[in-house]
Amino acid sequence: MFQNNKYTYFIYPINIIYKLGFDINDLNIKLEKNNFIENLCSTIQYYELYKHEINYKYKLKNFKKNVIKTTLKKKVSVLNKILNFVFGLKIINKNDQYFLNDKNVWDDIKREKKIMPKELKIFNN
């Protein structure tokens, strides 16, 4: 039942990204540690609310203990597993600034043709 629903396949990780304060379309957003931790609390509560569906959908081992009571590193690790599974993203901490990184995983995909946008002309009657 869960696997056929593409909406829920993407909605959980997208909600996690936005609850953390990031934007999937802008990987240049950096959060200070205090802001990130504040956002992380609400994000982990969201995860706990949908934990069973998320664990099933992204083939995560079922975390038996409450993630809310774990360390910062473990909380980020749980979220990284979800984000990496769907988008190839990872939350990185560098100099007490947190940001999303895809390590250019999408740049190495081989394509038969390079997709180029076409300019559309609009004619007024």
pLDDT of residue 117: 67
> On the CB side of 22, how many CA atoms lie within 13 Å of its CA?
28
Specify the pTM.
0.78
pLDDT of residue 28: 93
Tokens of 58: 């992204």
pLDDT of residue 6: 75
Strand order in the sheet with 30-32: 30-32, 97-101, 90-94
Alpha-helix residue ranges (DSSP H) falling in 21-71: 33-49, 51-57
If we measure between CA atoms, which residue out of 34, 33, 20 comes closest to residue 90? 20
Tokens of 71: 């360390």
pLDDT tens sequence for the chain (125 residues): 445 667 778 999 999 999 999 999 899 999 999 999 999 999 999 999 999 889 888 888 766 678 888 899 999 999 999 999 999 899 999 999 999 998 776 666 666 666 666 777 776 66
pLDDT of residue 1: 43
Identify any residues that bridge with 92 across adjacent strands, giving them in sequence order: 99
